Amino acid sequence: MLARRGVGLCFFWGSAVPEIDTSGGRLLRGFGPVAVVTGASSGIGLEFARELARRGFHVVLAARRAEVLAGIAAELEARHGGRTTVVAADLATPEGVRALLAATEAMDVGLLVAAAGFGTSGPFIENSVADELGMIDLNCRGLAELTWHFARRFAGKRRGGIVLLSSLVGFQGVPKAANYAATKAYVQALAEGLHHELKGRGVSVVASAPGPIHSGFAARAGMVMGLAQKPEAVAAATLRALGRATTVRPGWLSKFLGWSLALLPRWGRVRVMALVMGGMARAGHSN
């Protein structure tokens, strides 16, 4: 309920068992001490939160479901010690974005991982227009606003990192996921541009472009994913690439699919994706 109204809820979990993994050295030195992870209640965002807590970051966990986030905060605290902050907010709304910015204003944030997002599947004109626009609000508008604010803060102190969740589908049009693919093309282009724009100002930006990943994504999009990788593969590979690459294709599957598609002209890629989505898109849509 709170989340639906875009209201932020913020609370702190105290320090407990200090088992900080010092292998987080490069990341913690470059992008610590506080990391903001959106979409931290599930899938890819959750794995980023776990990986960053393991490396000694104070992680700010943001998504809509307060209770789920509280459970994750308790898990991270028990396993790694250190501090977590929960911000329950609907990041598809300006109020939700503002709540997250306000909750983190006084913190020494050095890393933003923008993983909150969702997709739809099926023919665009048969889907709900509210869902399609809500997807733009979350995947593009909310992400852009958070990126703008944190990028300015990081540029001001000439230090910081930004991870934007793009996708394999963001490199061409995708029939039966047309609007979702378009939101990811936006994220990919934004990340590429900002990578070059901000690198001279001490800010690293990386686009992470996974292929199919087991998470809550497929159920919400009404898709069936046969072959998919674990979300852990995305977090680890992306954090390794931060500060070193413009785009990372995490895991063997995204590399294999990405480079296979890259051999084709753009119109050919669209046709291949039409075939792929024909098998994955929501049952009941055949045109």
Ligand X SMILES: NC(=O)c1ccc[n+]([C@@H]2O[C@H](COP(=O)([O-])OP(=O)(O)OC[C@H]3O[C@@H](n4cnc5c(N)ncnc54)[C@H](OP(=O)(O)O)[C@@H]3O)[C@@H](O)[C@H]2O)c1
Q: Is 180 a catalytic residue?
A: yes
* Eight-state DSSP code of residue 26: H
Q: What mask, x for binding ligand X by CB under 6 A, covers residues 54 to 73? A: ---------xxx--x-----
CB of 118 to ligand X, least distance (A): 5
Q: Which of 157, 176, 180, 255 is catalytic?
A: 180
Is residue 165 involved in binding ligand X (CB under 6 A)?
Answer: yes
Residues 85, 103 contacting (CB under 8 angstroms): yes
Report the residue from 8, 43, 56, 250 that binds ligand X according to the rule CB under 6 A.
43
> Does 36 contact ligand X by CB under 6 A?
no
Tokens coding 82: 């250190």
Residue of 176, 184, 199, 255 marked active site: 184
Distance separating alpha carbons of residues 97 and 182, to the nearest angstrom: 22
Tokens standing for residue 34: 């506080």
Using CA atoms, how far residue 63 sits from 18, 42, 80, 133, 173, in Å, is: 26, 9, 21, 19, 28
Taking phi over 0 as left and psi of -120 to 50 as alpha, with beta for the rest, 122 belongs to: left
Least separation in angstroms between residue 94's CB and ligand X is 12
Q: Between 251-262 and 231-241, two packed helices, what is the crossing angle to 10 degrees? A: 70
The residue count for binding ligand X (CB under 6 A) is: 30
Question: Between 204 and 229, whose beta carbon lies closer to ligand X?
Answer: 229
* 251 is an interface residue for ligand X by CB under 6 A: no
Query: Under the rule (CB under 6 A), what is the footprint of ligand X?
Result: 39-45, 63-65, 68, 90-92, 115-119, 138, 165, 167, 210, 212-213, 215-217, 220, 231
Q: Please list the active-site residues.
A: 180, 184
